[in-house]
Structure 1
Amino acid sequence: MTAIDELSALDLAALVASRVCHDIISPVGAITNGLEVLDEENNEDMKEFAMDLIRKSARQASAKLQFARLAFGAAGSAGAEIDLGDAHSVAAGFLANEKADLDWQVPRLLMAKNRVKLLLNLILLANQCVPRGGLITVTMDGDAQTPTFRLKVTGSTTKVPALVLEMTSGKEPERIDAHTVQPVYAVLLARESGMDLEVVKEDDGVRITAACIG
């Protein structure tokens, strides 16, 4: 039995929650530091620096939380659909604080929530493939019922993390923790959505595809 087979719904929820908390600890901590500077400093330059830090960190925390709400959250009742325009907005906000740029070429339409969550998780996978920055181009073939998501990742340095390659090639990790749960979650979303997931390293970057089975 693999680690995924042994993973209960409660354990998966706990690991995803830990992942979300890990992502927002840094900007929230920076807000706290900025407030402490405001309380302790009388220097106007330092106060202005602290306010800039608070504003920037608050925007980062908000963007990460809005992204996590759609990428990992319930986002409505069972069978709910999500507007891909909302997915674009949260993805753009999230990547505004990352090194990669986003080229979103997906039409605005309503789609089953798990498929939209999968698309957002593919963007997270793509972001891991450009550690020094680059461009993530997102396109879609088909319609809302039978979509094929295509992400092309380019940059000065592109790579596919070993865990991502293992998960998307059918291998499963022996152990799952908060640091490795996101690619696992993406694979589970693909299975739930009836889609095949493929990540391929190419000469000019990385190609990520999720296509409906059959």
Structure 2
Amino acid sequence: MATISLESLDLAALLCSRVCHDVISPVGAIVNGLEVLEDDNDLSMREFALELIGKSARQASARLQFARLAFGAAGSAGASIDLGDAEQVARGMFQDDKVSFTWSAPRLLFPKNRVKLLLNLIMIATTAIPRGGSISVHVSGDAEKCEFLINSKGINARIPAHAEDLLAGHSESGTVDAHGIQVYYAGEVARAAGMNVAFSIEGDEVTIRSATV
């Protein structure tokens, strides 16, 4: 394994690519729905188009709000984020989805990087259950000393390929692509937040545990 070397401009470009990838699908669906409204006078088709536009707009908004906290600055250096805001954007990601979501956390202000880490670990947790299932998030402790416990349960649950290496900042080639950038970024945030991350799996349940060092 080689240590990943990534210029700041490349990191920014890859993260932008990841965010755009997550938003393209619902935005494209909105465009398709608008085209149906313009070209089709059938009442049932117009109702379908309006429903598609509404659902896709909600998905796009939820994904952008999530990305704003998970990847964005969210205030100046050293800023804190309310865990309630993190819960809200996380729940928004799972509306109308094949994954059920539960959240248990105190309503406290946490350092920005620790909240960003939590949201990024939730993103990783979704890839552990490609066929859907359930994700539960439990946060204990306070802003100074805390632990995150995220459980993904579903058919064929697995630790995402290369996730442990990418979190540690390593890859076979010493590079990372748009597919792996989010996991690599999560590792960078974990180190900045003074927290470790560990995976375990038992049957159809993957556990991601992160605690202050």
With over 3 angstroms needed to count, the CA separation of the structure-2 counterparts of 1:147 and 1:93, relative to structure 1, is same
**8 A contact 1:3–1:176 mirrored in 2:** no
What does residue 85 of structure 1 align with? 84
What does residue 116 of structure 1 align with? 115
Q: Which amino acid aligns with 1:180?
A: G
SS at match of 1:162: coil
**8 A contact 2:101–2:134 mirrored in 1:** yes
In structure 1, distance between residues paired with 2:87 and 2:196: 22
Q: Which amino acid aligns with 1:16?
A: L
TM-superposition CA deviations, 1:10-42 (whole Å, max 9, x none): 111110010000000010001001111111111
What does residue 36 of structure 1 align with? 35
**8 A contact 1:199–1:209 mirrored in 2:** yes
**8 A contact 1:140–1:150 mirrored in 2:** yes
Tell me whether 1:56 sits opposite 2:17 in the alignment: no
In structure 1, distance between residues paired with 2:48 and 2:134: 31
Q: Percent identity?
A: 54
What does residue 11 of structure 1 align with? 10
**Alignment map for 1:101-112 (pairs within 5 Å):** 101-112=100-111
C-alpha RMSD of matched pairs (Å): 1.6
Relative to the length of structure 2, the TM-score reads: 0.94
With over 3 angstroms needed to count, the CA separation of the structure-2 counterparts of 1:13 and 1:194, relative to structure 1, is same
Tell me whether 1:26 sits opposite 2:25 in the alignment: yes
Deviates more, 1:93-102 or 1:19-28: 93-102
Q: How far apart are residue 172 of structure 1 and its match?
A: 2.8
Tell me whether 1:210 sits opposite 2:210 in the alignment: yes
In structure 2, distance between residues paired with 1:11 and 1:45: 47
Deviates more, 1:129-138 or 1:64-73: 129-138
In structure 1, distance between residues paired with 2:97 and 2:79: 29
In structure 2, distance between residues paired with 1:105 and 1:173: 37
Q: Name which structure has the greater RCO, CA cutoff 8 Å, separation 6+.
A: 2
Aligned residues: 212
Unpaired segments ≥5 residues, structure 2: none
Unpaired segments ≥5 residues, structure 1: none
Relative to the length of structure 1, the TM-score reads: 0.94
